[in-house]
Amino acid sequence: MNQLTIAIIFYIFAAVTVLSAAFVVFSKNVIYSAFSLLFTFFGVAALYVFLSADFIAVTQVVVYVGGILVLLLFGVMFTNTIMQTELKADVLHMAPGILVTLLLIGGMLFTFYTTGSWMPGEMQLNGSVVESIGLETMSRYMLPFEMVSIVLLVALIGAAFLARYDKANKK
């Protein structure tokens, strides 16, 4: 494939990702937001493929699309059936959101123009990507890996406590 074809495919996936993410944020229907989140996750996975991060792309699809999105859809659908309520979300606070968006875009453009180049380096990995991730995770990044696992454990315990606390107050 030539560079023009690759650039066109990249821009198509980038547009799908950005437009579906905007639909997630601005949609008032939770079900439509969840389904457009599906396209956002697939678009991000495609962008990871363009970055030659195949392992992260597959992880994106398996974890986010296969796990989190399905869980979110089941939760929304079961909640709607049980409670018989309208699932509508109001989009509020547009001005702060636009301000934060413009600040983020300005920061990215500043970084882009001060670093000189956005092209990836010419360094090639030896061995498979999965092997490199495993070695780095279990050697250089062992402490942050364990800290993230502790934070996730604390979040799980806190969520269980909050769920139990609400049931105790209702009785």
The CATH architecture that domain 1-91 belongs to is: Up-down Bundle (1.20)
Residue 84 Ramachandran class (φ > 0 left, ψ -120 to 50 alpha, else beta): left
Angle, CA 15 vertex, CA 11 and CA 21 arms, to 5°: 145
Domain ranges of the chain: 1-91, 127-171
Sign of CA dihedral 105, 111, 114, 115: negative
Token readout for 166 is 């609400």
The arithmetic mean of pLDDT across residues 132-145, rounded, is 85
pTM over 0.85: no
pLDDT in tens, 108-119: 888 878 876 655
